[in-house]
Amino acid sequence: MCPPPTIRAHTRVRPYLMTIDDKVRKTLAELGVTDAKGVESLFAEVRAAMEKERQELVSKGVASEAERDKLCKALRDRWLARKNGLISFLDENWLKKAAKEIKPVVGRQFNELRRSAANMEEKTLARELPLRRDDRAARISWAAFQVPTAPTVGASVPSDLTLPGYRRPLGSIHPITRVQREIEDIFLGLGFAIETGPEVETVYYNFDALNIPETHPARDDWDTLYVDSDTVLRTHTSPVQIRSMEKYGAPLYVIIPGKCYRHDNPDSSHSPMFHQIEGLAIDTDITFADLKGTLDFFAKKFFGEKVRTRFSPTFFPFTEPSGEVSISCVICDGKGCRTCKETGWLEVMGCGMVHPEVLRYGGIDPAKYSGWAFGLGIERYAMMKYDIHDIQLFYQSDVRFLEQF
């Protein structure tokens, strides 16, 4: 009679009976993998297991944001944790202990697997893992946020209407546009209309009709951007004053917003392109007192009721008499500070009574009608309103700056 066979204390476990958790804790030699084909097959099995776990998590959904963050972190730590993550076991047991002849293959497969695992970062999973919606109405409402995309050839269209779509961030109104609209609203309330004109203007409308002689320095090549000898990029919105007179006659009450161009080197207070608003009022018996009262009202509406205005004489070829308007410093309330250069006042616009020659160029009889006009830079008003010290910030399209408005 033959003796019974000896029972071994440690029986070798067959690889096909082991889980991924078991396999990553053994070396390739212990798993019986000795060639490149076996390495590729083994890593494909790991990738399939990782994708299966991810799909199972996505298919279940979550009931709250807190649960989503918790589950996403748990799955990430299971695979990518430095100490006990499955990828760390692969690095220690498969890559570092691989035989010399198969180590290049193991290295390539390991790098591909690590890149695939990186796609399971918390942010990516948070976008894919939907909140559970228990009723049909909620699912339909959630689906309304989806951005439709064209399916690729041969791909099946997903049927899960609860998957969240891509939310596009909302934009905001540019600070220059915001200030322009605020100024327009004030004058619209006073009965003014908005008029616009071409930005590429003739020399006649830009200079001659505004009583600006050929000897004036503003007509020099160093100040004005010429398209040709008879055409310029308008240096102010004043040409629209003449066009409006020709179009509507008198009486006339208009404001003229728009872009202007000058041959200026860009710095913190200058730009070759800027925005301007001009106002024009023409009627019978209009005086400088009407101009002062209107601009004082405007300054208080825009800067606040406490602001004070001051008019100083100056010279402009298209107005007579001409003046400069200053307001009490909005920073120090007229006490004197760095912004107002210790004067307590800030110059904000030019103004004056429309020159009789300008009225004649516009086809209006200066013996019957009189008028006043003013002009201001929108960027300067925006800089004072929002305490901005560099005009270039308006044109650099820096989202960090624009998001503040």
Largest Cα span, the chain: 143
State the Cα–Cα distance between residues 84 and 144, nearest whole angstrom. Answer: 42
* Range of lowest pLDDT (117-126, 140-149, 215-224): 140-149
Q: How far is CA 2 from CA 5, 6, 7, 291, in A?
A: 9, 12, 15, 126
What is the DSSP secondary-structure string of 287-316?
-HHHHHHHHHHHHHHHH-TT--EEEEEEEE
SS (H, E, C) 324-385: EEEEECCCCCCCCCCCCCCCCEEEEEEEEEECHHHHHHCCCCCCCCEEEEEEEEHHHHHHHH
pLDDT band at 138 (very low <50, low <70, confident <90, very high): very low
Strand partners, 277: 257, 376
State the Cα–Cα distance between residues 254 and 219, nearest whole angstrom. Answer: 26
Residue 310 backbone phi and psi in degrees, to 5: -140, 135
Tell me what pLDDT residue 330 has: 84
Q: Is the peptide bond before 321 cis (omega within 30 degrees of 0)?
A: yes
**112-148 as b/e: b if 16+ CB within 10 A:** ebeebbeebeeeebbeebbeebeeeeeeeebeeeeee
* Range of lowest pLDDT (155-164, 271-280, 314-323): 155-164
Share of the chain above pLDDT 90, in %: 43
Q: How far is CA 159 from CA 63, 132, 163, 301, in A?
A: 20, 15, 9, 57
In tens, the pLDDT along 53-86 reads 888 877 777 777 777 778 888 888 888 888 788 8
Looking from the CA of 82 toward its CB, the CA atoms found within 13 Å total 0
Residue 276 pLDDT > 80: yes
19-21-23-24 Cα dihedral, nearest 10 degrees: 160
Residue 352 pLDDT > 90: yes
36-60 helix and 65-80 helix, angle to the nearest 10 degrees: 170
* 160-168: average pLDDT: 76
In tens, the pLDDT along 393-403 reads 999 988 888 88
Q: Tokens in use for 176? A: 């220059």
Pick the more confident residue, 236 or 138: 236
Strand partners, 361: none
Tell me what pLDDT residue 128 has: 61
Strand partners, 226: 232
Domains of the chain (ranges, CATH numbers): 15-143 (no CATH), 175-402 (3.30.930.10)
In tens, the pLDDT along 170-218 reads 788 899 999 999 999 999 999 999 999 999 999 999 999 999 998 888 8
CA-based nearest residue to 182, from 255, 252, 240, 237: 255
In tens, the pLDDT along 80-120 reads 888 788 888 888 888 888 888 888 888 888 888 888 777 76
Residues 6+ apart with CB under 8 A from 61: 129, 130, 131, 132, 162
36-60 helix and 103-118 helix, angle to the nearest 10 degrees: 10
Tell me what pLDDT residue 112 has: 85
